[in-house]
Amino acid sequence: MSDVRCYEQFLRLCFDAGKPKEEFTGKAIYNMYLKTTRWEQLRNERMALDQHECRMCDSAAQVVHHRHYKKPFGQETMHDLTSLCHRCHKNHHVPPSIEEIRRQFEENSNKDQVCPCCFTAIKKKRKRYLYSTLVHGLVLLDNFSKTHPDVEWVHAERLFKKIKNASTSSRGDFAKLRYWGFVELKTGTSGKSRSGLYKITARGREFVNGIMSVSKAVWVHRGKLIEWEKETVTLQQALGVDFDLNEVLSSTEEWD
């Protein structure tokens, strides 16, 4: 088989009247494609995007790996490719066990990672704070449940209408109260928790009523609570010294 550099020549050799020639099938076609200038261009572009670093371990990258083979050779996009070192490339083709992968994720949870099987980006563990706007929303949820005992679930948007200057991000963060066990999120018909409807838990009521203090922050990894912050706060401390609880409750006498 000749050394083919031109991508157009590669296509002509591999296909005759739209059908692959028998001598150019499977691995042979792939190896020949890797010698073309088209692949060299794609490889260099992907390497440059990854700054010549392995996407899995941050060491020097030596190969560009196809994440899948759903597209014809030469028509790959940058999303179809990724840069790897030889060790990680070998591990992908002979992947470690699920137990080993989980162990690696746990040991390296303080930095962003990439799944060695599917190359999905896994974010490092995050510190989530129990900030005042979240607690404000919890107080409103508790008040609503007391004044509307016949309504089991409340939409978060209804609560945040009562909070002045509440940001869009704080609305989305309301679900994070689950890390402290303060709220329960209603699941949709598909079983996914995306309804936006909440109800306060017994633990949430105890915190609002000043019966207990909780961790000021929690560490979360891959959407799961993994560690509590040692420093604790009460309801008033979490709300802040300038927060008037009585004023908030008086504003909820008439719910929309």
Please state the three-class secondary structure of 7-19 as a single string.
HHHHHHHHEECCE
Give residue 22's pLDDT: 44
Residue 60 has pLDDT above 50, yes or no: yes
84 — phi, psi (to 5°)?
-140, 160
Confidence of residue 212 (pLDDT cuts 50, 70, 90): very high
Residue 211 has pLDDT above 50, yes or no: yes
Residue 4 has pLDDT above 60, yes or no: no
In Å, what is the CA distance from 211 to each residue of 61, 140, 230? Answer: 55, 17, 18
Q: Where are the alpha helices (DSSP H) in 50-131?
A: 86-93, 98-107
Please name the helix (run of DSSP H) or strand (run of DSSP E) that holds residue 232, with its range, or none.
strand 232-233
Q: Domain extents for the chain? A: 36-122, 127-250
Q: What does the longest C-alpha to C-alpha distance in the chain come to? A: 84
CA 111/CA 92 separation, integer angstroms = 20
In Å, what is the CA distance from 30 to each residue of 25, 68, 251? Answer: 8, 13, 69
Which has more pLDDT, 13 or 230?
Answer: 230
Q: String of b and e for 28-64 (b: at least 16 CB within 10 Å)?
A: ebeebbeebebbeebbeebbeebeeebbbbeeebeeb
pLDDT digits (tens, 9 = 90+) for 122-152: 777 788 999 888 888 898 889 888 888 888 8
Beta-strand relationship, 15-16 and 19-20 = antiparallel
Confidence of residue 241 (pLDDT cuts 50, 70, 90): low
Give residue 70's pLDDT: 81
The separation between CA 238 and the C-alpha centre of its own chain, rounded to angstroms, equals 27
Mean pLDDT confidence for 222-234: 87
User: So what CATH class is 127-250?
Assistant: mainly alpha
Closest CA to 55 of 3, 4, 119, 151: 119
Residue 204 has pLDDT above 90, yes or no: yes
Least confident of 2-11, 16-25, 159-168, 225-234: 16-25
pLDDT digits (tens, 9 = 90+) for 24-49: 445 677 777 888 888 999 999 999 99
Which has more pLDDT, 42 or 73?
Answer: 42
pLDDT digits (tens, 9 = 90+) for 153-166: 988 777 777 666 55
Confidence of residue 89 (pLDDT cuts 50, 70, 90): confident
**Percent of the chain clearing pLDDT 90 (strictly above):** 23
**For residue 221, which amino acid is it?**
H
